[in-house]
């Protein structure tokens, strides 16, 4: 069992243990499972910024949907590994935000992702400008985040 530890150069990350359900027959993390890991980190990052997922809809009338995603698989995670999944803002637009995400194990990068999220109205899924409070939180986060290279 590898204890992959936290990386100090990443501003926000969460640790996720790899369970049997996350793996294929070879006890290697199934490629689609990384999407769940990335989503979980984004949800916890939003919570860290002060925004619960249900609050986005109730308080602001918006949701964030994945508009685009690019993944690069570098090396595998295995059963019982403790991986870190990080989030950093690379770009904020009027109605969208682009994030760099990374799954790592110690100093080893396992997966790199660039994720573009669109802010949409919760009822009709039409693009909406970021609510001011959320935009301000994103701006503050970009002042302290160190983006992850996605190349």
What residues are annotated to the active site?
Answer: 24
In three-state form (DSSP H/G/I as H, E/B as E, the rest C), the secondary structure along the chain is: CCECCCCCCCCEEEEEECCHHHECCCCEECCCHHHHHHHHHHHHHHHHHCCCHHHHHHHHCEEEEEEEEEEEECCCCECCCEEEEEEEEEEECCCEEEEEEEEEECCEEEEEEEEEEEEEECCCCCECCCCHHHHHHHHHHHHHCCCCCCC
């Amino acid at each position: 069992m590898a204890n992959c530890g936290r990386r100090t150069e990443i501003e926000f990350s969460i640790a996720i243990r790899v369970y049997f359900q996350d793996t294929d027959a070879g006890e290697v993390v199934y490629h689609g499972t990384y999407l769940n890991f990335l989503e979980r980190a984004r949800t916890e990052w939003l919570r860290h910024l002060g925004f619960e997922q249900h609050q986005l809809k109730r308080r602001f009338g918006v949701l964030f949907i994945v508009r685009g995603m690019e993944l690069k698989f570098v090396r595998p995670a295995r059963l019982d590994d403790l991986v870190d999944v990080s989030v950093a803002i690379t770009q904020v637009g009027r109605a969208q935000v682009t994030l760099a995400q990374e799954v790592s194990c110690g100093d080893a990068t396992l997966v790199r992702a660039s994720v573009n999220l669109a802010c949409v109205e919760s009822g009709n899924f039409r693009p909406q400008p970021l609510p001011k409070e959320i935009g301000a939180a994103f701006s503050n986060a970009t002042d302290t985040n160190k983006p992850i290279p996605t190349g």
